[in-house]
C-alpha cells in the first residue's frame, strides 16, 4: 500500500469544508469514469458538519442522482433514533438532496443484530453484483476514529478484527449502543479510496497510535487499514495532528 496521504487543516471548520470539497471532487471523478459514485458514510458526530455542507454549498456541484449511499457501521437502534448513524446523515444531508429511496442503503438497526448484518450482506451482494467470496469495492469509504483507535465498529480486541469472509457482522462494543453492525476489514480494505476525518485535541493520541504507534492491529484497529489497491487519506485538523512527529 502507498503511504497514507496526510492533509492537516488549520481548524475544524477548515477541515469540514475541505472534506466536503474532497468528497464532491471524488464524486465527480467517479461519475465521469463509471457513471456512479458509491459512497460509504461514517457515523458518530465528526462528519455531520461536512454532510450539512455537502447538502447546502455543494448541492449543485454533484450529480446526486448518480450517488449510492452506504454505511460503514450502524447502531442497533431504529432509523429515527437520535443515536442512529442513518438518522444523522438523513437529517444533515440525505433529506435535502432529492434522492430516490433505492439510493440509500441503510443498515437495518431495528432488526435483531445478526439478522441486520446478514440483511446488509444481501444488499451489498445485490447492489454490487457480487457472489460469495467477492467483496464490494466502494469508490470512497469515510472513516472516523475513536479515541481508543477504533474504526467503524471495529473496537480493540473485537473478534470481528479477524473476520476475513463475512461482509458485515453484528458486534457488541464497549460504548453507548453496545450492539452494532459493522463492515469487516476485507470490505474496508477493498475500497478504492479511504478517507479518515478526525478533529480535535481529544483524538491526537489516537491519531499518533494509529499512524506512528507500535504495530498492533488488535490494540489499534485503525492500523488494519491497508488497502492493497486503494488510496488512504487522513484529513486532520491541527489539534488532532498535534502529537504526530511528521505533519
Q: Which stretches of the chain bind ligand 6PG, using CB under 6 A?
A: 42-46, 72-73, 85, 144-146, 150-153
Helix %, strand %, coil % for the chain, to 5?
35, 20, 45
All cell numbers assigned to 91: 437529517
Q: Which residue has the cell 467477492?
A: 134
Nearest residue (CB) to ligand 6PG, 112 versus 202: 202
3-class DSSP state of 8: strand
Q: Which residue has the cell 457472489?
A: 131
The least distance separating ligand 6PG from the CB of residue 42, rounded to whole angstroms, comes to 5
Nearest residue (CB) to ligand 6PG, 31 versus 47: 47
The least distance separating ligand 6PG from the CB of residue 145, rounded to whole angstroms, comes to 6
The least distance separating ligand 6PG from the CB of residue 86, rounded to whole angstroms, comes to 11
Q: Is 8 exposed, middle or buried (0-12, 13-18, 19+ CB in 10 A)?
A: middle
The least distance separating ligand 6PG from the CB of residue 131, rounded to whole angstroms, comes to 28
Q: How far is CA 30 from CA 26, 67, 126, 156, 173, in A?
A: 6, 9, 20, 33, 34
Nearest residue (CB) to ligand 6PG, 37 versus 155: 155
Which residue's C-beta sits nearest to ligand 6PG?
Answer: 144
Nearest residue (CB) to ligand 6PG, 85 versus 189: 85
Amino acid at each position: 500500500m502507498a503511504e497514507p496521504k496526510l492533509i492537516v487543516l488549520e481548524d475544524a471548520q477548515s477541515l469540514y469544508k475541505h472534506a466536503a470539497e474532497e468528497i464532491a471532487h471524488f464524486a465527480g471523478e467517479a461519475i465521469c469514469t463509471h457513471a456512479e459514485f458509491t459512497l460509504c458514510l461514517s457515523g458518530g458526530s465528526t462528519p455531520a458538519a461536512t454532510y450539512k455542507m455537502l447538502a447546502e454549498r455543494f448541492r449543485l456541484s454533484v450529480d446526486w442522482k448518480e450517488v449510492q449511499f452506504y454505511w460503514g457501521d450502524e447502531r442497533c437502534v431504529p432509523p429515527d433514533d437520535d443515536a442512529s448513524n442513518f438518522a444523522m446523515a438523513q437529517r444533515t444531508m440525505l433529506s435535502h438532496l432529492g434522492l430516490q429511496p433505492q439510493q440509500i442503503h441503510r443498515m437495518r438497526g431495528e432488526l435483531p443484530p445478526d439478522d441486520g448484518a446478514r440483511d446488509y450482506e444481501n444488499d451489498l451482494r445485490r447492489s454490487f453484483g457480487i457472489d460469495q467470496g467477492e467483496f464490494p469495492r466502494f469508490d470512497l469509504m469515510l472513516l472516523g476514529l475513536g479515541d481508543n483507535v477504533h474504526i467503524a465498529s471495529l473496537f480493540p480486541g473485537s473478534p470481528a478484527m479477524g473476520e476475513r469472509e463475512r461482509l458485515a457482522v453484528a458486534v457488541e462494543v464497549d460504548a453507548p449502543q453496545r450492539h452494532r453492525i459493522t463492515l469487516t476489514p476485507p470490505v474496508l480494505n477493498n475500497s478504492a479510496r479511504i478517507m479518515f476525518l478526525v478533529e480535535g485535541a481529544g483524538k491526537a493520541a489516537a491519531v499518533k497510535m494509529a499512524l506512528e504507534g507500535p504495530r498492533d492491529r488488535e490494540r489499534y484497529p485503525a492500523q488494519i487499514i491497508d488497502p492493497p489497491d486503494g488510496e488512504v487519506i487522513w484529513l486532520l485538523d491541527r489539534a488532532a495532528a498535534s502529537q504526530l512527529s511528521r505533519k
